[in-house]
Amino acid sequence: MKVMVTGATGFIGSHVVELLLHHQFAVRVFCRSVPLARRMFGERVEIVSGDMQDENGAAQAVRDCDAVIHLAGYAKNWAKDPALFDRVNVAGTRYLLEAALEAGLKKVVITSTNLTIPASGGGPPADENRPPLERFSNDYQASKCRMEKMIASYVAQGCPAVMVNPTRVFGPGILSEANSVTQMIRQYLAGTWRLILGDGNARGNYGFVADVARGHLLALTEGKVGERYLLGGSNLSFNEFFAILAEVSGRQRRMFHVPDRVALGIAGAAKFFALRFGLHPLITPEWVETFLQDWEINNDKAVRDLGYSITPFPLALKKTINWLNQSEAKEGSYENDYPYPESRTVL
């Protein structure tokens, strides 16, 4: 089976490619940087150069393939031109779906986000049956919601699309903005991260990258067309996250809580300078508000229907810390040497 992968040079995508290769799939990578992809994967993959904003590129990339795993997207916290979110996440996905229909692909797995599912808000953990969001906290979330609505229309036309919705993913791999949780872990270990947002009780879900990558392959082989599957891990508050991190790492740090209003003010200033001088902000007020909400999720559907499994959070943290201690990974690096043992099956 030949699988075309977009976003292959990203954090989750690089793990997905390695798993596909491990399980003897033929892989074609569709990316903007051929040299980067070649450094990452060598001659083990076929590489097609292109951009998700190019309508013709998608058609060329899927030619002679059986399936697609579409991880590419604009997932940053800010863009000087907010329309960029829709150009990449909505229009780019539409080009791919059109190409998939034309080529008669067997399966199209599309990566979305848990943020398209309404926040749990202190109630039961959210699942895939929650009604669609009507109000959006940030441009990224809004674009992904529009993307999911569009995907449903293509499924109605016969496109064999399946969606996966990862949560806050962390673990060994590329230390990009998409892997910000691992960057925070690294800074905590170094003693340079001492902040907890608000009172620390806001809850989120943290998924180990090896589990999430495997979930993508399970969606490819077991996923039902038209369905979406939350791919996450443990539900934790910020306070719980750092307490477990301190215990697992053996490094106790004095942490400081940043009041909501202070965090919003700092983020507002960062956004002002971004708009004025084009400097990418560390965070924006919209994202502070997002992180102050509860985003607990229920993984039961993926576990039941796909065979998804979850690495216990302390063990996932231990593996991540060991990798950080053993590597000289730097922000923006492409090294991804996390081992996938032969005994671990996907199919």
> What's the CA angle centered on 119, arms 279 and 163, to 5 degrees?
85
Q: Which of 213, 221, 177, 189 is nearest to 347 (CA)?
A: 221
Distances from the Cα of 197 to the Cα of 26, 288, 329, angstroms: 44, 8, 26
Strand partners for 43? none
Q: Has this prediction a pTM greater than 0.95?
A: no
Q: How many angstroms separate the CA atoms of 89 and 148, rounded?
A: 10
* Annotated domain spans of the chain: 2-326
Print the SS3 string covering 206-217: EEEHHHHHHHHH
Q: Per-10-residue mean pLDDT for the chain, 347 residues long?
A: 97 98 98 96 97 91 98 91 95 97 98 96 95 91 97 98 99 90 96 97 98 99 98 98 98 97 95 88 92 97 98 98 80 43 32
Tokens of 140: 């990224």
Q: How many angstroms separate the CA atoms of 345 and 347, rounded?
A: 6
Which amino acid would we find at residue 214?
R
* pLDDT reported for residue 328: 57
Q: How many angstroms separate the CA atoms of 125 and 211, rounded?
A: 19
CB 241 within 8 A of CB 317: no
* Sign of CA pseudo-dihedral 219, 295, 139, 274: negative
* pLDDT reported for residue 55: 86
Q: How many angstroms separate the CA atoms of 12 and 22, rounded?
A: 15
> What's the CA angle centered on 67, arms 61 and 72, to 5 degrees?
60
Which residues, at least 6 apart from 255, have a Cβ–Cβ distance to it below 8 Å?
194, 195, 196, 242
* pLDDT reported for residue 280: 86
Which CATH number describes the domain made up of 2-326?
3.40.50.720
Residue with tokens 């996250």: 241
